[in-house]
Amino acid sequence: MTKCPICDNGKLKSGEIEETMFGIYLGKFPAEICDRCGESFTSEEMTKKIEMIAKEKGIWGLGIKTKVAKTGNSLAIRIPKNIAKFLHLKEGRDVFIHPEKDKFVIETI
Ligand SMILES: [Zn+2]
């Protein structure tokens, strides 16, 4: 049995994981799961399959790094076109923004 590379204590056992990306359910996939820390590892082949499904659902690459800009006395963050499309955001639409620990959340309402 393989030792877990994350916690270095647990052993990896074959199991199944439910994969989600940006809150979208992608499906169940076979994986090696650590019996101590619960970390899961998918094979290269499965990782590629998960990537393919995410691409099919149009959510692959939606998470990107962006910069905070200044506009007047406020700060602005540009929302990339594909994220705006995913969230059905359009100019003039109301959104609710709030901080959440180390996140900045924009809720579509
Ligand atoms: Zn572990």
Closest by Cα among 37, 85, 93 to 61: 85
Hey, is 97 helix, strand or coil? strand
Q: pLDDT for 10-58, tens place per residue?
A: 999 999 999 999 999 999 999 999 999 999 999 999 999 999 999 999 9
Q: From the CA of 95, how far away is ligand 1's center (Å)?
A: 39
Residue 109 confidence class, pLDDT cut points 50, 70, 90? confident
Task: For residue 18, count other CB atoms closer than 10 A to its CB.
Answer: 11
**Where do the domains of the chain lie, and which CATH numbers do they carry?**
12-56 (no CATH), 68-108 (2.10.260)
Q: From the CA of 100, how far away is ligand 1's center (Å)?
A: 28
pTM of the model: 0.73
Q: Percent of the chain having pLDDT more than 70?
A: 99
Closest by Cα among 33, 44, 46 to 6: 33
Q: From the CA of 89, how far away is ligand 1's center (Å)?
A: 40
Q: Percent of the chain having pLDDT more than 90?
A: 82
Mean per-residue pLDDT over the chain, rounded: 94
